[in-house]
Structure 1
Amino acid sequence: MVKVLIVDNHPVVLAGLRAIIESTPDFEVVGSIKTGVEIFEFVRRYKVDLIISEIDLPELNGITALRAIKKEHQQLKVLIFSHQPEEIYAISSLKAGASAYVPKSIDIDKFIYALRKVAEGEVYLTDKMSKQLEYDDTKKTKSRMFKRLSTREVEVLKLLSSGKKNKEIAKELDINEKTVSTYKSRLFKKLNVTNLVDLIHQAEHQDMV
């Protein structure tokens, strides 16, 4: 039986969560409290496996409480259940030690699914956050690739991608053709390709041109 502590200062939310959790097999509500400060005393006195907490709490906000609680009780699983904007607070919650950030607008079935995932020791992300993280990872990848290229290499890459020949690039950048060929060879190596077609395709795929 997974023992759950609910932390929220809205009586209707507390009652609703209690009803949902107590109707879910293998879960038991062992307490419901209204402030972040109360969490510490409760988990010291009672057995708790999983905490469901709002961010906006009297006396101590949920994320600050989460950081402190995880230092003392690393095995505790935490699901943040909040009305605050997901795109702003989800990552902060996960970094602080939560296993999920669930918006209060979520469907009951998805909430129960998230609850079970967290209880099993997994991380739950909404579809919205999964896409956001994938987008962020893509941006980081592009950023890393750009950092590997010099300013001149980026210029040569863009001109090659626009269909310019070595001679035309040399004239436009006021360098000789041999230097253009050197930059092209460096680009092949850094972007891990062996021909011009693949070079341009790689640049377009990475949104570098």
Structure 2
Amino acid sequence: MMKKRVLLVDDHKIVRSGLRTLIELEDDMAVAGEAASGLEAIQLVRKNDYDVVVLDISMPDKNGVDTLRDLQRIRPELPVLILSGFAQEQYALNLIRSGCRGYLSKDADPDEIIKALRVILAGRRYLSLELADLLASELTHPSDKRLHETLSEREFQVFFKLASGKSPTEIADELFLSVKTVSTYRARVLEKMNLKTNADLTYYAIKNELIS
């Protein structure tokens, strides 16, 4: 039986090592590559075939939000499991909308990580109990959404970059948009979140632990 090929993407070697040890205990999957950054992950995916990617959010040079977007563009059929130090309620809903097949925090039980990988490799989404509750709450009480959860996928990307200190010109280059379009998205984000300045966006992101 051919083992499923897993690509690990995390800037901490000790995290990759722990995941490798966990995955290599399984008979049906193996770690076929490791990347310490989003850019490195993109390069590997362009050159090699993988069956699933395990992706962190907080990384140097290209964060997981942008890396997920690029992976969707380059290999839309390649499933991605987000394994992050951020709690599920902070990012999960936005990233599920952006195309990831599952989201777990790094303190998840090892058995759940393996279960999530198998579910995703079988072509389905993996929803933890916590994430299923979040989605159910969104359906039954949509007015209870936190402000950033009301944003569309593209609006969330622009919000995240503005909150991280990127200029409209930098964002336009990274997202292949015009500066005018970025400014339009910025205006929508500020209106939806009832905020006035980029500094307000940064404060919101820090307060809600979306950036550190």
**Partners of 1:135 and 1:45 in 2: how far apart?**
41
For residue 72 of structure 1, what is the aligned residue in structure 2?
Answer: 74
Q: Which of the two has higher C-alpha Rg?
A: 1
Report 1:77-156 matches (<5 A).
Answer: 77-140=79-142
For residue 54 of structure 1, what is the aligned residue in structure 2?
Answer: 56
1:31 alignment partner, SS class? strand
> What stretches of structure 1 move > 3 A for 4+ residues in a row?
none
**Partners of 2:90 and 2:11 in 1: how far apart?**
21
**Partners of 1:73 and 1:91 in 2: how far apart?**
21
For residue 13 of structure 1, what is the aligned residue in structure 2?
Answer: 15
* 1:70 partner letter: Q
* 1:48 partner letter: Y
For structure 1, which runs of at least 5 residues remain unmatched after alignment?
142-209
Q: TM-score, normalised by structure 1?
A: 0.65
**Partners of 1:90 and 1:140 in 2: how far apart?**
16
Question: Once the two structures are aligned, what percentage of the paired residues are identical?
Answer: 33
1:56 alignment partner, SS class? coil
Report the CA distance between 1:6 and its aligned residue. 0.2
Q: TM-score, normalised by structure 2?
A: 0.64
**Partners of 1:12 and 1:26 in 2: how far apart?**
23
For structure 2, which runs of at least 5 residues remain unmatched after alignment?
144-212
1:123 alignment partner, SS class? coil
**Partners of 2:139 and 2:109 in 1: how far apart?**
28
Report the CA distance between 1:85 and its aligned residue. 2.0
* 1:19 partner letter: T
Superposition RMSD in Å:
1.5
Report the CA distance between 1:35 and its aligned residue. 0.3
